[in-house]
Chains A and B, each alone.
Chain A
Amino acid sequence: MSSVLYYFLAFTGINILMCWSIYLPYRVGQLHYLTVACMLASAYFSGFAAREWSWPFALILAAGILIGVLISLLPSFAIGDAPCFTVVIVGLTIIFIFKTAVENSAALGGTIGFFGIPEVQHLLPLTYLLLAAAGAFIYRIDHSRLGRAASVVFVDKNTAAALGVDVKQLGMFFQIAAGGIAGLAGTLYAFLIGSLFPEFFNLGVIGTLMCMLFTGGHSTMWGVVVSVPILEGMQLLLPSAIASWRQVIYALTLIVIILLLPGGLITKRTLVRFKGRSRA
């Protein structure tokens, strides 16, 4: 397999995981950017555990997920049912605090960065195996009572509460699950790139994830499965003459998609139509 295809597939897999980690809390109307902080913490921990303690990959993977879960768990007690923008600012603030902590930590390479994370064999198939597992988990949630409750919360919290939904607990569950998925993505990211730098985790990452989520469609988990490969591929295929306008093209794409296709490329209605055709 060519290097271009390898990295395209690997980043596509990791970005789908990260988009899902934003998608899940957005099911209850929360933009939970804290998942980027989970990714950062898990990536650095994984790199450190692999290089300094020589932990086996499986153990690091489990620890990475656990770190993501723990980081999401604590704030979720306070922001489980918080308004969307409080969740946004809490997320951005924790990313900033984590970045500052890394920049001030000599053990994690400080501002210079963290080098020399050992390679893992068969990382790409592993990534897709874990992606499938995470996908199955989200699919189950989406098609359970939790998923239906989340759909009601998204439309109207008060109605959901009247129907007996514990809005806070539901929000906490989605935030914690998202943290775990982001932790997984962080571990895979660290092993894929092989070195870490605090600036890897900035506002640009959030912008890219939002673009992917809203272009693909935020109402189903399948939206990002379509949009991530398209947007990843687009940045590889753009001719160099217009490559320098990539950010502008992304921003315009997102605005146009949101205006013309409000639900994104794949909506629940698209899926229903698709299922109908398959049955026919």
Chain B
Amino acid sequence: MEIFVAQLLNGLSLGSMYVLLVLGFNLMLLVAKIIQFAYPHLVVLSMYVCWAVLRYTDNMLLVVLASVASCIVINIAIEPIFRLLAKRHGLDINVSFVVSMSMALLITDVMSHLLNYGYPIAFPSDWVGKSIFSSGLIAFSAGQAYALFGGIAAVVAFFYLLYRTRQGRVLRAISENSLLSSIIGIPIVKTRVLSYGVAGLLGGLTAVMLARLLGSASPGLGDFVGMKVVAASILAGLGNLKGGLVCGLLLGVAESMAIGYLAGSWSNAIAFMMMLIIMLIKPEGLFGIRA
């Protein structure tokens, strides 16, 4: 039981990060109609920004601002590429996937060439923090607490924005029907840019929380996380925000349990196998496609 609780805590804090990534990913899919495979890579890039700022100041607010600002700026900066893509190809998410895969490759390669000589970066040990609670094998670090509770706060704020504000209604309207939305006067381009901005905001916050949870980052981290984010999103049903919430959390817990209880290198294979079976039985995902 002690091991189970310990693994559950690990899984929940990791899952909360997947949730944030899946939410940002799905938001762009719903509103901008793109598969942004490079989104987790952008988040990792923002972790590098955190690290760079931390070398000059330990002011937490500045670090968070830098991370959020960088993620928003980069995410909005690539928006014109996808707009041009939509102009040329129509809203073909397959092509956006190919382009974003190239972007992911580009970001990873730039990080492995130019940032910290390509070596992993480490955040100060007080960032991850010591255990704030420890009993036998059950330990809960400050980093985990930031990830879990910060994640919950970010998700609540995100859903508040989406369901309780005017801008949220606009975002939802475009995700339902962009043609009708444009007829009733919603500025499509501006709102799509807004979705990139909101995804960037979520990404920047995720970067800070991931930094506190993991304590380090490397150029390859985006690839590791990226695959899982896309998988969780598809498992939930592409573009399904609430489904993404459940599946992101489930994926984190399943991953922890698999590593904790199953035989090493087979653990992830078995987790993937389960996912495969679900996808083969329900190709549209557990909660249905919304994109």
Contacts and interface: CB of A to CB of B under 8 A. Distances in A.
Check whether chain A touches chain B (CB < 8 angstroms): yes
B223 interface: yes
A85 B230 contact: yes
Interface stretch (B4-12, B93-101, B144-152): B93-101
Given A31-B94, A83-B289, A262-B88, A251 B102 contact: yes
B109 A247 contact: yes
B157 interface: no
Contacts of A207: 101-102, 105
Interface residues of B, number: 42
A86 B81 contact: no
Given A83-B289, A247-B109, A252-B106, A210 B98 contact: yes
Contacts of A262: 88-89, 95
A258 B95 contact: yes
Nearest to A258: B99
A2 interface: no
B99 A254 contact: yes
Interface in A28-68: 29, 31
A89 B265 CA distance: 19
B113 A245 contact: yes
Contacts of A78: 279-281, 283
Interface in B213-246: 223, 227, 230-231, 234-235, 238
A259 B273 CA distance: 36
Given A84-B94, A250-B105, A255-B102, A100 B279 contact: no
B163 interface: no
A262 B97 CA distance: 14
Contacts of A83: 238, 283-284, 289
B81 A96 contact: no
Contacts of A93: 231, 272-273, 275-276, 279
Given A92-B227, A259-B84, A259-B85, A86 B284 contact: yes
Interface string B44-69: 00000000000000000000000000
A211 B223 CA distance: 18
B94 A255 contact: no
Contacts of B284: 83, 86
B125 to A, nearest CB: 32
23 contacts: A29-B94, A78-B279, A78-B280, A78-B281, A84-B97, A85-B238, A86-B284, A88-B230, A89-B230, A89-B275, A90-B279, A94-B276, A96-B268, A97-B276, A247-B106, A254-B99, A255-B99, A255-B106, A258-B95, A259-B85, A259-B88, A259-B99, A262-B89
Given A29-B94, A251-B105, 9 more contacts: A78-B283, A85-B234, A89-B230, A89-B279, A96-B268, A97-B276, A104-B266, A258-B98, A259-B81
10 shortest interchain CB distances as A-B pairs = A82-B283, A78-B280, A100-B269, A251-B102, A251-B106, A262-B88, A86-B283, A247-B109, A251-B105, A93-B272
